[in-house]
Amino acid sequence: MKGYTNGEIQDFEDETSPAGVILGLDGGTTSTVCICMLASASISFGGGGEAAESLPILSRASAGCSNFNSVGEAAAKETLEKVMVEALSMAHSNCSAVRAICLAVSGVNHPSDQQKILEWVRDLFPCSVKIIIENDAVAAMASGTLGKLHGCVLIAGTGCIAYGFCEDGRQARAAGAGPILGDWGSGYGIAAQALTAIIRAHDGRGPQTTLMNNILNVLGLSSPDEVIGWTYADPSWARIAALVPVVVASAEDGDEVADKILHYSVQELADSVKAVIRRLKLSGEDGKSPFPLVMVGGVIEANNKKWDIGKEVGKLISKDYPGVFPIRPKVSKLSRLQYILWEWQFFLQFSQ
């Protein structure tokens, strides 16, 4: 098959079942994971999440960001190719053995995005391979509802997006357009506001904040002036978003600037979810019908002594939509992939 080594593709033999294999890929702004399993694997309907979590996995490969809006098309394409080929290599399989591929990738916001990624994938695999491409919110939703795509999901990690699903097939989304276009509830958005607050305090344009010393210490810098060079040396979203725990810790220690940043971000995340609820009428005509809200991502999990961002977002939403019941699944990207493959079993079983 085509093995991926230092940017080059090398050949090796297929040792898997004649039935072939299927690939599932969950690509985010921080990390990307691909799993490989036998196409002949038995996937049962019903039975709850255990059915998804018991899917037999041959191999798992991981890499960095695959959101082309963050790292550019060339880097994103390379990451997708790398994890798929590595997963096949570890499973002792090859591209010709692949029967279907499910990709849930952040940054897929329009049919043109799906077409772009489809063309990348087609460069590696035969035209007979069945391919489905969705936003990574689909995998996140499935991980919290045992594979059922109904309700709303909020991803708040390096980036953020709210995505809603109805049982009749209707979908809606809010946010997810990147930091330049207002994803201020994201990890990048929170950290960027903190960095801005440092510069403003240093200039005398804003209030003093403990964020200055706390972030300088974490970055190993000696002066706020050095923050400028650090920021623009590599403005990748994940690198900036990694500062979120410092902002949370500063807020919990009583810093008003950090606390204000987190409150603003909570409002932004809640507003995104509410927009999806309204558009799909997930709460029913009376606004009180129950529906699940799956919340995942590093920002949701960035809590310590006092601050719990996910809990605060849930409180704001429940004021207007009392039927919401938040779900915060403790699952990895691997588990998300297992759930999404379970949900899409009709596709993966190659029904005629």
Domain that holds residue 233: 174-321
Domain count, the chain: 2
Please check whether residues 339 and 270 belong to one and the same domain: no
Q: Is residue 151 part of a domain?
A: no
Q: Give residue 46's pLDDT.
A: 44
Q: Is residue 143 part of a domain?
A: no
Q: Is the pLDDT of residue 11 over 60?
A: no
Q: Is residue 160 part of a domain?
A: no
Q: Is residue 165 part of a domain?
A: no
For residues 7-18, average pLDDT: 48
* CATH number of the domain to which 58 belongs: 3.30.420.40
Q: Is residue 145 part of a domain?
A: no
Structural tokens at position 287: 């606004």
Please check whether residues 26 and 123 belong to one and the same domain: yes
- Model pLDDT for residues 161-173, shown as the tens digit of each residue: 999 999 898 999 9
Choose among 160, 172, 202, 190: nearest CA to 276: 172
pTM for the whole thing?
0.79
Q: Give residue 171's pLDDT.
A: 92
Q: Crossing angle for the helix pair 187-203 and 256-280, nearest 10 degrees?
A: 150
Please check whether residues 198 and 71 belong to one and the same domain: no
Please check whether residues 219 and 275 belong to one and the same domain: yes
Structure confidence at residue 146 as a pLDDT band (50, 70, 90): confident
Angstrom distance (rounded) from CA 15 to CA 93: 6
- Model pLDDT for residues 312-341, shown as the tens digit of each residue: 999 999 999 999 999 998 755 555 666 556
Please check whether residues 120 and 243 belong to one and the same domain: no
Please check whether residues 87 and 215 belong to one and the same domain: no
Q: Is residue 164 part of a domain?
A: no
Please check whether residues 316 and 338 belong to one and the same domain: no
Q: Is residue 107 part of a domain?
A: yes
Structure confidence at residue 213 as a pLDDT band (50, 70, 90): very high
Structure confidence at residue 16 as a pLDDT band (50, 70, 90): low
Q: Give residue 12's pLDDT.
A: 42
Please check whether residues 107 and 237 belong to one and the same domain: no
Please check whether residues 201 and 109 belong to one and the same domain: no
Average pLDDT, whole number, for the chain? Answer: 85
Angstrom distance (rounded) from CA 27 to CA 208: 38
Please check whether residues 341 and 232 belong to one and the same domain: no
Q: Is residue 142 part of a domain?
A: no
Please check whether residues 341 and 218 belong to one and the same domain: no
- Model pLDDT for residues 271-325, shown as the tens digit of each residue: 999 999 999 999 998 888 999 999 998 899 877 678 899 999 999 999 999 999 9
Please check whether residues 292 and 340 belong to one and the same domain: no
Structural tokens at position 55: 């899917």
